[in-house]
Amino acid sequence: MHPQQTDIPNLLEDLERAVRAALEEDVGSGDITAQLIPADREARARVITREDCTICGRAWVEAVFRQLDPSLKLFWHCEDGDEVKAETVLFELEGNARSILTGERTALNFLQTLSGTATTAAGYAARAAGTDVKILDTRKTIPGLRTAQKYAVLCGGCFNHRIGLYDAFLIKENHITAAGGIDAAVRQARGIAPEALVEVEVENLEELGQALEAGADVIMLDEFSDADTREALTRAKGKAKIEISGSVDAQRLQQLAALDADYISSGSLTKHLRAIDLSLRLDL
């Protein structure tokens, strides 16, 4: 999948800010090891993946080297969302050797992390193939990389839940308790932001009935049995969309997808990622 970066609000601004912070923590007052290399030494480099993966992170790599040295030239052999095989050359670099080596780790950190997220998402999307269910991410993201990981989820073929606390209501147990019940919470939400989506998390069929009566747009079933999920889908048909959540992993996903809910959400898309093994080879 090749999503547009504009699909994620504030992505480009967040990207530049994240790259600046990453370079500041790594380079600090200067790369003393790079000073071993003559200042005018030119080089060419190749970045290779050591394993099969779904690529994500081109713009972050480009921002790293642009912020370090705008004269560097990058030549990409893949796009975000592409599935590539081990030993594939992802991109090449030409320019100052010091700049290439100074930016290497920061650039690869972004690329390996976001490609890891996209690869995980692609695996989940594959397990739900042939169904109409949408696999959603959550807010369980790496601090400072929220929009980046949300973008990576799209590259892997899954979908985004709300971006943050500001763009949709998700009324959970503690909100319900503090607000005085499901009906009261939904009514207050409609008054606060009438255009915003209102989702309510429920833990049993009784609470499902209350959420339906209150007029929730989406109802999240937390740790429901398969039998209760089927009952909830029957009751909610034509009234609210249903999201399955809780204990959703890759092994159980296919079984859950067959239940024919509207959505399945899983924090594993972003919080259980394993970075992809990448390597940079320098040619002088």
Answer yes or no: do 72 and 179 share one domain. Answer: no
**Could you tell me which of 255, 274, 11, 242 has the C-alpha nearest to residue 136?**
242
Catalytic residues: 105, 140, 172, 201, 222
Answer yes or no: do 140 and 218 share one domain. Answer: yes
CB 211 within 8 A of CB 239: no
Answer yes or no: do 69 and 87 share one domain. Answer: yes
- pLDDT confidence of residue 6: 60
8-37 average pLDDT score:
96
Domain span at 92: 5-125+273-283
Answer yes or no: do 155 and 68 share one domain. Answer: no
Answer yes or no: do 149 and 261 share one domain. Answer: yes
Q: Looking at the predicted structure, is the pLDDT value of residue 248 above 90?
A: no
- Domain total in the chain: 2
Answer yes or no: do 113 and 169 share one domain. Answer: no
Answer yes or no: do 61 and 151 share one domain. Answer: no
> What pTM does this model have?
0.94
Q: Looking at the predicted structure, is the pLDDT value of residue 3 above 80?
A: no
Task: Residue 52: give its domain's CATH number.
Answer: 3.90.1170.20
Answer yes or no: do 218 and 263 share one domain. Answer: yes
Helices (H), the chain: 11-27, 58-68, 97-127, 146-155, 173-179, 182-192, 205-214, 226-236, 250-257, 268-271
Answer yes or no: do 78 and 145 share one domain. Answer: no
Task: Residue 251: give its domain's CATH number.
Answer: 3.20.20.70
Answer yes or no: do 172 and 78 share one domain. Answer: no
Helices (H), 73-181: 97-127, 146-155, 173-179
Answer yes or no: do 193 and 278 share one domain. Answer: no
The 10s digit of each residue's pLDDT in 250-271 is 778 888 888 989 999 999 999 9
User: What are the tokens at 226?
Assistant: 């398969």
pLDDT-based confidence at 1, cuts 50/70/90? low
pLDDT-based confidence at 249, cuts 50/70/90? confident
Answer yes or no: do 135 and 262 share one domain. Answer: yes
Q: Measured between alpha carbons, how far is 177 from 80 in angstroms, rounded to an integer?
A: 43
Residues in the chain: 284
